[in-house]
Amino acid sequence: MRYTYKTKNTCASEVSFDLDGGIVHKVEFVGGCNGNLKAIAKLAEGESAERLIKILKGNTCGSRKTSCADQFALALEAAVEEAKEKKTEESAHIVR
Q: What one-character-per-residue DSSP string does 13-53 give?
A: EEEEEEEETTEEEEEEEEES-HHHHHHHHHHHTT-BHHHHH
For 31-67, write each residue's pLDDT tens digit.
Answer: 999 999 999 999 999 999 999 999 999 999 999 999 9
Res. 90: pLDDT tops 80: no
Domain borders along the chain are 2-95
For 73-88, write each residue's pLDDT tens digit.
Answer: 999 999 999 998 887 7
The pLDDT of residue 85: 86
CB within 8 Å of 55: residues ≥ 6 apart: 73
